[in-house]
Structure 1
Amino acid sequence: MSTKSIMNTNGNNTSFTFPRIPSARSLKFYGTGAVYGHGGTTYVDVYDDDTKTWVNIKALTGNPYLVQQFGTITFTKRSISGVRWRTTAHWHGTHSAMGITVDYQAAVVGGVNLTASIHKQDFSYYGQMSHEDGLQAQWKILVNGIQKYPASGYTTLTSVPFNFGKNLPHTDFNIGTNTVQIETRDSGGNIETFAYTMTKVNATPTVVAQLSAKVIHGQDIKLNTTFNDANTDDKVQYRVLLNNVQRFPSSGFSALENVPATLSIVFSNSELNVGTNTVRVEFKDDWGAAGTWTETITKLNAVPTLTGNMSGLTLNATINDTDGDDVRYRILINGIQVFPESNYTTLLNVPLEIKYTLSSHQVNIGSTNLIRVEYVDSIGSIGAWEKPFIADFAGLMFCDEAETYYSTDLGEILKYLDFGTIVAGQTSTAERVWLKNTLGYPVEEIQLWNTQGELDGVNAKAEISYSTAPFEAMDVLEFADQLNHGEKIPLYVRIVTNRFAAYGGMFDIYVKADPVL
């Protein structure tokens, strides 16, 4: 902007004229005091050099008004020989100045040639500099509001016209739309800005990926990928995630690679969950354009099943798996693992038959116990079976009519078969004793026999018989028939003495049998 002042005096004139104003785009009248017009119409005229006439460009009617009310007056005729202010009445300005402020035209850029679209090549800008009044000019170039050339200020003032231009590296530009500004300044200090739009393009890289299978049971999965980019001079990097856990590389992205780039990776079956698994490949080029590929893998696996029961202290069970997978298992009693000592068994083929007999020391005899079998197949599916049961001694047990045992399954005495005091020469009454099968499985070929123990076996001896009437003493009682779990058979026991018997004592009865498998 430039200011011209015409006077500093009282008014009452009807007109005054400013001299030639080169390359003006607009002007604005001002008064430093109370400068105003009286009555009639006040005009602003410019002198047209071509027609050699005054041309009115603004008029105000009113009484009174300040000169500032003219505001900024714009026009297209740049080079004019003068500006005239006139009124049909008179103007008045007490000890005031009236003037104009002029906006001049700066240097002009024309004949522009620029690169409209780039990727990694330089941006090129060329143009011609001119000035209507022939003033020297200088320039600078900005990208998105940031000066790129020269480093600061403007280029050197140069006489017009002249050609100018600049190549800028692609790194000066953002992906997408960019604004390039050429700012000119003439030797008079007048500035003009010219704006252009250019685009930096960058294609998103692509991937072709394939899984060896999408529905599996026990097999591994292979992923094959090929990365590409329409901008063949770009490089790509990538990473692979399985169920949101990074699988390759261990962290971050791979190193940048030229395209096409390939990757093959194997997911072991053990890495995959039963059900749905998500494979995600993330990739980007060296300019950050990113893409994602996602696919799912379904891993099918039936949970193994167990059918079983408790027979006494013996567990009879069968584990099966519809997929035919091997299984391993462990047995717990009342929350305490009893088999194997730790962890699980090794993997075993199905169907898997289990026959496991507990020790009476592992259970609470006469109370409710809980047996639990936990099992897992080779793929990792877990199952469990449990059953409450009342624990009893396991064996061929001697008991009375009320099924009260004489000893434990380990031979520990619980009570005695007591014949009381027997007079020498007498025979005791025959006592019925029961043999009960609590093994959990049937037996056959049962044999019972007794030893004399503390008895002398001549003057006092213990005898056993199948019956009491008649009582036929036998060295061995044999029962060929099968005795199932929970069943019992009777035998009879007595003490026989003669007159030479001097003492009594303990004796033992033994039993053996063959299991029916």
Structure 2
Amino acid sequence: MNEVTIVYIKAQGNNAESIAMFHRIRAKQNGVYLTLSKESNLVDHNMNVRTNGLDEIFTGASSIGAPYYEGTTKGYYIFKFEFEGNFTLEFSDWINTSYGKAYSVYMSYDNINYELIANNNTNLGTGKIFSTSAFAAYNRLFVKDSIGYKTYLNGWVDSGTSLPSENVFKSHGIQKEKIPEIPESAWSQLAGEIEFCYYTDDQTKTEASFNIETDPFILEEEWEGKEIEVLYYTDDPTVTESMVTIETDPFTLAEEWEDKEIKIIEYTDDPSITESTITIETEPFTLYDELGDNVDVLYYTDDPSKTSAELNIAANYSPLDELEGDFDVVTWSDSNTSKNVQLSSIPSPQLIKQTDDYYMYGDLLAIVDKLNSSNGTLRYAISFNEGSTWEVCKFGKWRTIDISSLDAFKKSGMSHYDISLINSVALKNKGSKIRFAYYIEDNIHNSDPGIEIDNVQLKIDAATDTVKFENLAFYVLNTNATIQLSIAGNKLLGVLDDSDRGKVQYRIFLNNKPYYPTDGNFTLLAPSPQDININISERDLLFNQENTLKVEFQDYWGETDYWQTTFVGSYSGLMFMDETGEYLSDTFGGILRYLQFGEIYAGQTTIDQKVVIKNQLGYPVDEMLLTVNKDVLPSGVGIELSRQQAPFLATDYITYGLTKENETQEFYVRITSDIDAEPVSNGIFELRINAKKT
């Protein structure tokens, strides 16, 4: 892979009008002019007059004449170059005022996203050479998964487990602009978590962003079944703890602790406390349920006179309980008189399944089971599919159980209390048919009557055989979505909301052309309220002219409305201007106009010139710092700044306080030189300004 960067250059007229921007374009790198041609370097254009002279803009020949554009849109050229680092472009401007008009130069790495690098407002038919310099950065990346680092060349290529070196990034890294070309099938081959390792030699870049399109998801789905840790950092030394509030579906501790062994650990620093009491409310149970059939009774006493212990147990017990399976009762007597044996016993646990369904013609209010006796164990299960499967509802959640296993039915079935909690909310999407199954086991430890169910009733809020409707129509009452927007600093900010809390979508038009999304379609429907934060690219604006921005929006039902505003196209940022209001630089730091100090003689101090700083960021700033870049000053030459003209209080930096949106600050600048300063032709100095957003 080559260690060069493909760069696209777009030259476009500033206004929608006929234009001929230049006779020739030249590219220079490391002091050497590159060989250019129509076949290798011209990507696109809309010139429509003398197009057979396209070769001349690369060769400088004048046999036919360079092309130009006639029409009512913006004339443009798009070129492609291979650069490495700094490069210079030279344009030979047009030689007449009929078509020699202002144009701008933009740079892109993907022929999609362009940035302004120069603005030639002086192309007024003078035929001069317009020159601009730029930097072609290496923007390369590797993709890292659980196996290691990878690049892509018609498929993933492994590059080991160590971070690649700078040279490897340059020679084998993936261009950021090529990422969209990697197919979805390739991404699915990666294992584990995916990281982007990004390299650039552009020193002005402090961050990189990637737009990743995924299927809609919510964090609850991503985190389901995973253990989540919340890491909190603060540099406030007074903070000793933090609190995180998490909203969950309603649940009970009984639901979370079901079938788990619970230990309660109590701590106290009160030395007088020797024991604690914990009260737990449970369903009714007996010691027999907890202890089972076999019990060891341990007896302790500190009475030395006790030599033995007696334990009296009163229980409903018969030696026949010890026998398993069927048995015969055999008696012997020397009398011929017939003998009668009376035997009473408790039935074995029983499973009873209802064979018919109940039909619910409305909202279920409650399930009421009338019990004549509750001496034993009673469990319920419900079927909604004619007995094919059986379900239980505990803590508001349904789950399927196997009622053919009596032990499982006894353990997991619903109690009398559980069945009383079922209502229409719990039965949502369960259909209109319902049937019951019962597990019944009498208490073997006393002679009281066992479980007796008198009846089960379904209380349903339903109206039958009463009011009848004919030609019934339903109308949906819908409230239109609303939008609150503002534009400042070439940024569109606001909120799209719907009082019905439905889903909303929008699209943006700039000067009657689709801007976002670029295909002119609406964005995907998303829950309201929806924040809107869109940067308006300056390459799409009409400078010093009125621009129209229109936002169309609609709700889930298709009710459409729009918001529209007009604004004059201008730069955004902290802008330098001369005292006449002309911009000295653009948003990206490109030079538009120079402060002309004329010739300066060694030992001379120039007349000061007034410069204005205008806040066009779209928000107020504070702690504004104006400094001189001394690194580029020739030896013996200095730049002095002053807040006022008279008296001129020389300093090399100036600070400003709160500066509101569109507010201006003024300063004066002059050049000083030592008597032994070395001569420099066309000397240039730089001023820099930084501020904090408030």
Q: TM-score, normalised by structure 2?
A: 0.31
Select the structure that is richer in strand.
1
Select the structure that is richer in helix.
2
Structure 1 or 2, whichever has the larger Rg, is 1
